[in-house]
């Protein structure tokens, strides 16, 4: 009985493995086409531009006692971000909305968007550290980065950051100053971490959906070609339904087909 069960399992494994290999090949081709398309249209760079646009434009205007409100607050934040991450000073006429309308073209001022996600967020983190050390030099960016933190900490550090403690300084006041800076630093780091998590999740989801669509399309074209090449068969409504269903199911399974092939081969080898 055990031998018969093993024979059945092996036959099922052989049957599924054939389709898994085809799906794995389809997945590899789909990913290659996606990578080529992303390289041609600069989709990653455009994605970074859109994420930073949404991140900055969603911030509310700061309180008047933090920074003087201005109608071009978000534009100033963006220009200071580019200055601190690329060293390029944007013209005053250049605003945040320009990156939403513009197509990506590599230049020193747009080099930030061409970086990988980890390196881009690393550059922004370094810029944030510089801003926290000099809040009076970059008031708009400071107000943006600390938005949501304790208002007392924001105002205290903005006021005390340029003060040099002398002899006989009040220990309690110095401790409050250091604690405020520490809380702001950790808060800003958490903000940037949440931005990176959201960007990673959205980018991965977008890639997964695109791979499913491309994989399903490749399978559909392949099945239609096989159907047309078989002159003995007639494509009725039931056949088209099965082709569409098989394409959709194959497109969803294709991204994990490589892992499935590995697992099935282990089953066959007794691993």
Contact 51, 235 (CB under 8 A): no
Q: Rounded to a whole number, what is the distance in angstroms from the first to the last CA of the chain?
A: 21
Place of tokens 């991450």: 85
Question: Tokens in use for 75?
Answer: 């534009």
Q: Strand, coil or helix: what is 92?
A: coil
In the predicted model, what is the mean pLDDT of residues 106-117? Answer: 90
Contact 159, 118 (CB under 8 A): no
Residue 161, classified by CB atoms within 10 Å of its CB into exposed (0-12), middle (13-18) or buried (19+), is middle
Residue 233 dihedral angles phi and psi, to the nearest 5° = -105, 155
pLDDT tier at 142, thresholds 50, 70, 90: very high
Query: pLDDT tens digit string along 58-105?
Result: 998 887 777 776 778 999 999 999 999 999 998 887 878 877 766 788
Q: Which of 35-39, 191-195, 234-238 has the highest mean pLDDT?
A: 191-195
Residues 6+ apart with CB under 8 A from 70: 76, 140
Give pLDDT, residue 167.
Answer: 57
Q: What angle do CA 139, 86, 94 make, to 5 degrees?
A: 65
Residues 6+ apart with CB under 8 A from 180: 150, 152, 153, 156, 157, 160
Q: CA 132 to CA 197: how far, in whole Å?
A: 22
In the predicted model, what is the mean pLDDT of residues 222-240? Answer: 70
Give pLDDT, residue 115.
Answer: 93
């Amino acid at each position: 009985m055990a031998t018969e069960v093993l024979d059945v399992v092996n036959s099922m494994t052989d049957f599924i493995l054939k389709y898994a290999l085809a799906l794995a090949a389809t997945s590899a081709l789909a990913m290659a086409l996606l990578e080529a398309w992303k390289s041609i249209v600069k989709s990653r760079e455009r994605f970074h531009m859109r994420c930073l646009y949404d991140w900055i434009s969603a911030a509310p205007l700061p309180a008047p006692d933090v920074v003087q409100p201005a109608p071009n607050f978000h534009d100033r934040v963006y220009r200071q971000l580019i200055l601190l991450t690329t060293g390029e000073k944007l013209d005053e006429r250049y605003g945040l909305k320009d990156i939403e309308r513009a197509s990506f073209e590599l230049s020193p001022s747009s080099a930030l968007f061409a970086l990988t996600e980890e390196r881009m967020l690393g550059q922004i983190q370094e810029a944030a550290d510089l801003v926290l050390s000099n809040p009076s030099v970059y008031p708009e960016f400071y107000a943006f980065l600390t938005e949501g933190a304790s208002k007392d900490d924001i105002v205290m550090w903005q006021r005390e950051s340029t003060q040099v403690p002398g002899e006989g300084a009040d220990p309690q006041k110095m401790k409050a100053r250091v604690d405020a800076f520490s809380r702001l630093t950790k808060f800003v780091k958490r903000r940037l971490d949440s931005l990176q998590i959201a960007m990673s999740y959205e980018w991965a989801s977008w890639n997964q959906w695109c791979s499913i669509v491309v994989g399903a399309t490749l399978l559909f074209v392949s099945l239609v070609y096989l159907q047309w090449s078989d002159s003995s068969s007639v494509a009725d409504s039931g056949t088209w339904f099965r082709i569409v269903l098989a394409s959709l199911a194959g497109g969803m399974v294709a991204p994990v087909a490589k892992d499935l092939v590995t697992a099935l081969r282990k089953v066959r080898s007794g691993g």
